[in-house]
């Protein structure tokens, strides 16, 4: 049967091929990134970078770095969450993350102890945000207990809430919640898994 009107649609699609390779799509995507950026349409730009603690998702609003996510958080669900909580205009646009990616590279190469990129803390509210704002006061290579952090933010009884604030830190590595341990010196939890927490502490201790 050569009569195309009688064959199923799925087969008919097969006779209309179009050679569109991934290089073509990549070039179009880069063009879209630039144009959307120029028009101020990219509410959330993101990229992924490799690191010694696995691939990291980096996302930024025009105000600054808004999210760092480990692979075990599932990058797709993290992006869906950003689309809901910030804006659905989420686009892979690595350029905006260049500075953050470079600082992370330097951090993992032990040539950087502090992060200078602008941060957007809009994913956190209230007490959690307060704790996260104070976390960078723990210096490179040092650690604090959850209790000490509670005291530092002027609420010594809020040890549990400090734990929650660390566990929900939207900017791990850059905002150093990995430097907060249990009072007895054991690790406590970590958003990137205990292996990652151990790796970061070892990296800083070796410096």
CA-CA distance, 207 to 23, in Å (whole number)?
42
Question: CA 98 from chain center: how many Å?
Answer: 13
Report the relative pairing of strands 56-61 and 64-70 from DSSP bridges. antiparallel
Q: Is 185 left (phi over 0), alpha (psi -120 to 50) or beta?
A: left
| Beta carbon of residue 172, minimum distance to another protein (angstroms, whole number) | 21
Residues 120-141 as b or e (16 or more Cβ within 10 Å = b): bbebbeeebbbbbebbbebebe
Query: What letter would DSSP give residue 90?
Result: E
**Residue closest to 96 by CA, chosen among 53, 133, 123, 67:** 67
Told to check if 186 binds another protein by CB under 8 A, we report no
What x-and-dash track marks residues 76-95 binding another protein by CB under 8 A? ---xx-xxx--xxxxxx---
Told to check if 1 binds another protein by CB under 8 A, we report no
Burial grade of 162 (CB within 10 A; 0-12, 13-18, 19 or more): buried
| Beta carbon of residue 60, minimum distance to another protein (angstroms, whole number) | 14
User: Binding residues for another protein, how many (CB under 8 A)?
Assistant: 36
| Residue 166 among the catalytic residues | no
Told to check if 187 binds another protein by CB under 8 A, we report no
Catalytic residue among 44, 56, 117, 177: 177
Q: Which of 17, 126, 154, 185 binds another protein (CB under 8 A)?
A: 17
Report the relative pairing of strands 90-92 and 44-49 from DSSP bridges. parallel
| Beta carbon of residue 34, minimum distance to another protein (angstroms, whole number) | 10
Among the candidate windows 6-14, 61-69, 137-145, 188-196, which touches another protein by CB under 8 A?
6-14
Restricting to residues 30-59, name those near another protein by CB under 8 A: 31-32, 35-36, 39, 41, 44, 46
Nearer residue to another protein within complex by CB, 55 or 141: 55
Instruction: List residues near another protein by CB under 8 A.
Output: 2-5, 9, 12-13, 15-20, 24-25, 28-29, 31-32, 35-36, 39, 41, 44, 46, 79-80, 82-84, 87-92
């Amino acid at each position: 049967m050569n009569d195309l009107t009688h064959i199923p649609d799925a087969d008919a699609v097969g006779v209309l091929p179009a050679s569109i390779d991934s290089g073509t799509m990549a070039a179009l995507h880069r063009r879209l990134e630039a144009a959307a950026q120029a028009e101020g349409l990219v509410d959330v730009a993101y990229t992924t970078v490799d690191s010694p603690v696995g691939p990291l998702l980096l996302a930024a609003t025009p105000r600054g770095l808004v999210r760092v996510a480990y692979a075990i958080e599932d990058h797709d669900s993290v992006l869906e969450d950003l689309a809901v909580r910030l804006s659905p205009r989420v686009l892979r646009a690595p350029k905006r993350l260049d500075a953050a990616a470079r600082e992370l590279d330097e951090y993992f190469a032990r040539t950087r102890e502090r992060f200078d990129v602008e941060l957007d803390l809009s994913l956190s509210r209230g007490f959690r945000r307060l704790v996260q704002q104070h976390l960078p006061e723990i210096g490179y290579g040092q650690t604090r207990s959850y209790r000490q952090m509670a005291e530092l933010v002027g609420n010594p009884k809020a040890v549990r809430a400090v734990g929650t604030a660390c566990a929900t830190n939207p900017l791990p590595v850059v905002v150093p919640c990995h430097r907060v341990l249990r009072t007895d010196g054991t690790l406590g939890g970590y958003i990137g898994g205990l292996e990652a927490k151990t790796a970061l502490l070892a990296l800083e201790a070796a410096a």
